[in-house]
Amino acid sequence: MAQTMQDMELQLKGRDFIGLVDYTPEEIRYLIDLAIELKKKQQAGETYQPLKGKTLGMIFEKSSTRTRVSFEVGMFQLGGHALFLSKNDIQLGRGETVWDTAQTLSRYLDGIMIRTFAHRTVIELARGATVPVINGLTDFSHPCQALADYQTILEKKGRLEGLKVAFIGDGNNMVHSLMMGASKLGVHFAVATPKGYEPDSEVIQLSTEAAKQNGSTIYVGYDVKEAVADADVIYTDVWASMGQEAEQREREIAFAGYQVNEELVRYAKKDYLFMHCLPAHRGEEVSEGVIDGPNSIIFDQAENRLHAQKAIMAAIM
């Protein structure tokens, strides 16, 4: 039996948002559609405040421009309030346990967003919290970015099913969330990394299984041209993620040949879109000509973080 909107709203209320792996294709599509709707409301100057009187705590153990600002602004627009909690300022940074932090914060807050290193920290936080927990990036995944990205692709291309997204570079947190999202949304996904920098094998396995059910394919290999062949979207990310700064030199050597540049994009569809979660290093993972060229939609992606996260917060909080 088809689910009604009310069923979906009930189904999402109180849930954590830790990974797209936990969400069905219908739930992901619902969140994307809601993001598009909230974006329209915002652009029309309409006030929509379902989170009036609610507070979101935002724990940051790593730097952020987009995540911090978009969550804070998003919460404000939804009628609520957001608190920035730097790890350096709260007792978590001095060794208070994740469990005690989760229990304590749950007595004040209606939701917790966390950006951290180890993925298990988010899992532990969610286990200890009695309010919804949102993953604002871990070393393993970045589901808020992936949700915003599929919203952006849908807006630009008018559909998701059957499109091909190619990711060139490091098999990192971004790849994991994009691959999982693609597999649920019927998007073909191809990733090319240097040897030794492949995505997590369990994510590949789960995505490959989900992709089969949803009519798409997953390619994981080393050949950039094969990955980019006929792609509708080319995506890349930094070669050294936050926490890997010491490996910068070694990675520059390993990733030579994995730059998205004018030569490589010729293998994609003519109307391909270039995407990057940002922050970017021009001249490393992407040439200036491509990232600042006419096919680049990097700031539309960045903008949609606001709308996609408003959808997540409105749905689960």
Q: How far is the CB of 212 from ligand NVA (least distance, A)?
A: 27
Q: Which is nearer to ligand CP, 39 or 66 (CB)?
A: 66
How many residues lie near ligand CP (CB under 6 A)? Answer: 8
The active-site residue, picked from 77, 119, 259, 277, is 277
Task: Single out the residue of 281, 30, 41, 28 nearest to residue 146, CA to CA.
Answer: 28
67 binding ligand CP? (CB under 6 A): yes
Q: Which is nearer to ligand CP, 123 or 278 (CB)?
A: 278
Applying CB under 6 A, among 51, 126, 174, 204 the residue interacting with ligand NVA is 174
Task: Single out the residue of 137, 52, 83 nearest to residue 317, CA to CA.
Answer: 52
The active-site residue, picked from 68, 144, 237, 307, is 237
Phi then psi for 15, rounded to 5 degrees? -75, 155
Q: Taking contact as CB under 6 A, which single stretch among the options 85-93, 166-174, 195-203, 225-233 is the one that binds ligand NVA?
A: 166-174
How many residues lie near ligand NVA (CB under 6 A)? Answer: 9
CA distances from 162 to 21, 31, 208, 310 (A): 20, 20, 15, 27
Examine residue 132 and say whether the peptide bond preceding it is cis (omega within 30 degrees of 0). no
Angle at 173 between CA 262 and CA 196, to 5 degrees: 75
Applying CB under 6 A, among 116, 241, 259, 309 the residue interacting with ligand NVA is 241
Question: What residue has token string 């909230």?
Answer: 38
315 binding ligand CP? (CB under 6 A): no
Task: Single out the residue of 40, 36, 42, 31 nearest to residue 5, CA to CA.
Answer: 31
Using DSSP, state whether 3 is helix, strand or coil: coil
Catalytic residues: 115, 142, 145, 237, 277, 305
Q: Which residues here bind ligand CP, judged by CB under 6 A?
A: 64-67, 137, 145, 277-278
Footprint of ligand NVA on this chain (CB under 6 A)?
Answer: 137, 172-174, 237-238, 241-242, 277
